[in-house]
Amino acid sequence: MKIFYLITKSETGGAQTHIYQLSKYFSEKKDEVAVMSSPGGWLEKEVKKLKIKFYPNEYLSNTLNPIKNFLAIKKIKEAISDFKPDLVSCHSTKAGFLGRLAIRNKIPTIFTAHGWGFTSGAPFWRKLLILCEKLVSQFCQRIICVSEFDKQLALKYKISQPEKAIVIHNGVEINEIQNLNQFKIPPIKIIFLGRLAKPKDPLLLLKAFSEISPHLKRDVEVFIIGDGPQKKEIEKFLKQQKECFLEKVKLLGELPREEIFELLKRSQIFVLTSHWEGFPRSILEAMTYGLAIIASDVGGVKEIIEDCGILIKRNDKKGLKESLFKLLKSPQLIQEMGEKARQKVKENFSLEKMLKKTEEIYSDLFFLKKNG
């Protein structure tokens, strides 16, 4: 089987990691795989390491420029003509839209929604994306949703018929370290991982943490991993705090995945304060390392941690402060929640399970193509 993956950006991210995992799996099974995205990012480097064909498309971006969009579609058609895939798998809103317009069911096509752009909490103007999705949904055989929440959104707005939308949760490699507690020595480390931008709202964590009583903060550190437009606002906020608070917060910028995993191994609490999400891989990865999770109740987050973490409302500083207080005053609770989270991700959200379910969808469509 020849599989063609299409995504807008090649930068480090959850959807890009998803494509990397699928590309590696199917290429190792001797299927022929190709990937197209805008050039120059992490995904391009990684798929080339796997000896997988990469088609750069410099016109793929989140622009409304009609000329660039026309040229992006042209390059998609050229790559399809060259590679001659049996199956096309589109990811991300823009590439999913242009890819389906370019192919128009001439080849079996799947669209994976890594969280809908019009989801609850997103800017109101994004509701226009509902019309775009309705337009191109006719040009794919299946829509894979990474959460039940996203499937219900697709049904609510009549983007998909029930039989066409399938839920396949994101999966992660399960960390097999037997005794993580030996790495989790004081001080307690709180991790935030994500783009430093308002949709992820890292400043909410710092504001909530600043209001925690000094005796609870004594043996605690906060690590902010990521970069983005809110960095200057965060730095300004930190400068306004007392020196003793500054010593406890470390802005680490973007880090290689290996360094992130090393830090997770030594940390105790993971906080995600997003205003909207799909099915965040960062939470799953933190769970594999036995971290207690506090996260906004958005998108598919509830499906991950409802029975093993703490859910807070979107933009709820008080709820976040109370959740931090609850954990910091009880190291035993942190450990119990972390162990429960680790067991849940192992049982429900393994990479193997995700890959097998995806393979079943591909095989069904390939069989229909051969016999149809």
The tokens describing 153, both together, are 């959104």
Per-residue pLDDT reduced to its tens digit, 46-59: 999 999 999 999 99
Whether the per-residue pLDDT at 367 is higher than 80: the answer is: no
- In this structure, are 297 and 360 located in the same domain? no
- In this structure, are 89 and 54 located in the same domain? yes
Whether the per-residue pLDDT at 286 is higher than 90: the answer is: yes
Per-residue pLDDT reduced to its tens digit, 97-106: 999 999 999 9
Q: Which helix (H) or strand (E) holds 38?
A: none
The one-character DSSP state at 59 is T
- In this structure, are 129 and 268 located in the same domain? no
Per-residue pLDDT reduced to its tens digit, 223-261: 999 999 999 999 999 999 887 788 899 999 999 889 999
pTM metric for this prediction: 0.91
- In this structure, are 342 and 354 located in the same domain? no
Q: What amino acid is encoded at 145 in this protein?
A: C
Q: Which domain holds residue 263?
A: 180-348
- In this structure, are 339 and 253 located in the same domain? yes
- In this structure, are 241 and 356 located in the same domain? no
Quick check: helix, strand or coil at residue 336?
helix
pLDDT grade for 370, boundaries at 50, 70 and 90: low
- In this structure, are 109 and 230 located in the same domain? no
DSSP state string for 144-189? EESSHHHHHHHHHTTSS-TTTEEE----BPPP--S-GGGG-PSSEE
Per-residue pLDDT reduced to its tens digit, 305-356: 999 999 999 999 999 999 999 999 999 999 999 999 999 999 999 999 999 9
- In this structure, are 342 and 363 located in the same domain? no
Closest CA to 99 of 136, 154, 66, 48: 136
The tokens describing 319, both together, are 């709820």
Per-residue pLDDT reduced to its tens digit, 7-33: 999 988 889 999 999 999 999 999 999
- In this structure, are 140 and 257 located in the same domain? no
The residues that bridge with 102 in the sheet, in sequence order, are none
- In this structure, are 146 and 239 located in the same domain? no
- In this structure, are 204 and 335 located in the same domain? yes
Return the pLDDT at 178.
65
CATH number of the domain bearing residue 61: 3.40.50.2000
pLDDT grade for 372, boundaries at 50, 70 and 90: low
Instruction: Give the count of domains, the chain.
Output: 2
- In this structure, are 90 and 25 located in the same domain? yes
* Residue 184 contacts residue 267 (beta carbons within 8 Å): yes
